[in-house]
Amino acid sequence: MSNTDKASITSRTASITKATDLPKPTRKTHKGLNISEEQLLELYESMYLQRRFEERSMQMYQKGKFGGFLHLYIGQEAVSTGSGFALNQDDDFITAYRDHGHGLVKGITPNEAMAELFGKKDGCSRGKGGSMHYFKPEKHFWGGHGIVGAHLPLAAGIAFANKYQENDRVTICFFGDGAVDQGALNESFNLAQLWKLPVIYVVENNGYSMGTAVHRHSAGKLADRAYPYGMKYDVVNGMDLFSVIDKVSEVAERVRETKEPYFLEVVTYRYRGHSMSDPANYRTKEELEEYKKIDPIERLKTYILDKKLASEKDLEAINEKVEEVVLEAVEFAENSDFPDEKELYQDVYADDDFPYLT
């Protein structure tokens, strides 16, 4: 008998099981979802921008243009894009450290986003936050958060303030499957339900928390965490843009009206390693390939072409435009200055003349 059989506490599954199971995509068409043809192309452009932005970031990172951690969102773009579309512009977004996609969707410009990666003063956090800590509150983007689970209570608070101010805004809070295991999730869920806060909690279940597959880190089904609090919940296909739009629209309407929270498990997949230093040896090539076959961008492209809503050439033109935007962002970031050294002591306190200790 091996050590493993004797008294196994953490279950090691011998065979590689699929990291996550995708629910069926919606059967609704763009018309059924009230998406105009123009909007459809904008959605395509947005997803493609997120993808190319990150591919370029990766390249710049590998060239040594900037340091720190770089967590790529590639593969998950339907979630940020669909949510952004389903919600109003002044609805509030907050997410974890895999935040480039959400930030771009909420109106951080590619220039500001790239400059932040480079640590430059024109970055969306003025070079002080880096990849994991994007911010743009004027566009209702409340961050990029580096500590797993730490932003879930913040989302409850943002929703609390919206309700308090009777402004009808909805808050949406994204986090990874790993964050489901944090105490903060349970405390936030309880408060949000107890106080009836207009917040949508979205777990982007991409199958892994770093190198640990979901079934190895979380007991039961993720979505069921809402159940004991009497919170409404559902599971949706996150590789399909239309499914995300469909579900988040429905949920948003309900949350806006009832002022009660909702928990959505969005099943998705990340193509790259956890961060740049992770070779992702814990999963098979086959698994990755299987998800790439249902790539959200390719899927939308196929839909557009099949329905003859645009030609191959039209999409090519969008791609070229995006390519230019991204290259310009790189150039912008390169040319932006580093923050002045005196910036080190700015933004710690509200006062300009705070008496720092040395």
Ligand X SMILES: Cc1ncc(C[n+]2csc(CCOP(=O)(O)OP(=O)(O)O)c2C)c(N)n1
Give whichever of 121 and 217 is closer to ligand X, judged by the CB atom.
217
Rule CB under 8 A: say whether 130 interacts with other proteins.
Answer: yes
We find the least distance from the C-beta atom of residue 19 to ligand X, in angstroms, to be: 10
| Per-residue x/- track, 185-224, other proteins (CB under 8 A) | ------------------------xxxx---xxx------
| Per-residue x/- track, 233-272, other proteins (CB under 8 A) | ----------------------------------------
Bridge partners, residue 255, by sequence: none
Rule CB under 6 A: say whether 280 interacts with ligand X.
Answer: no
Binding-site member from 22, 47, 148, 245 for other proteins (CB under 8 A): 148
For 305, residues 6+ apart whose C-beta sits below 8 A from its C-beta are 311, 312, 315
Q: Tell me the residue number closest to ligand X, measured at CB.
A: 176
Q: Which stretch binds other proteins (CB under 8 A): 1-9, 15-23, 99-107, 229-237?
A: 1-9
Rule CB under 8 A: say whether 338 interacts with other proteins.
Answer: yes
Bridge partners, residue 205, by sequence: 267
211 touches 16 (CB < 8 A): no
Size of the chain, expressed as the number of residues it contains: 358
Give whichever of 148 and 197 is closer to other proteins, judged by the CB atom.
148
State which amino acid sits at residue 168: D
Give whichever of 147 and 317 is closer to other proteins, judged by the CB atom.
147
Give the span between the Cα atoms of 94 and 188, in whole angstroms. 14
Q: Cα torsion for 131, 137, 141, 143, to the nearest 10°?
A: 40
Q: How many CA atoms lie within 13 A of 73 on its CB side?
A: 34
The site partner of 350 among other proteins, ligand X, Mg ion, none (C-beta below 5 to 8 Å per kind) is: none
321 touches 45 (CB < 8 A): yes
Phi, psi (degrees; rounded to nearest 5) at 57: -55, -45
| Per-residue x/- track, 240-279, ligand X (CB under 6 A) | ------------------------------x---x-----
What's the token pair of residue 133?
């800590």
Q: Give the largest Cα separation in the chain, rounded.
A: 68
142 touches 92 (CB < 8 A): yes
Subset of 77-106 contacting ligand X (CB under 6 A) = 98
Binding site for ligand X (CB under 6 A): 98, 146-148, 176-179, 206, 208-210, 270, 274
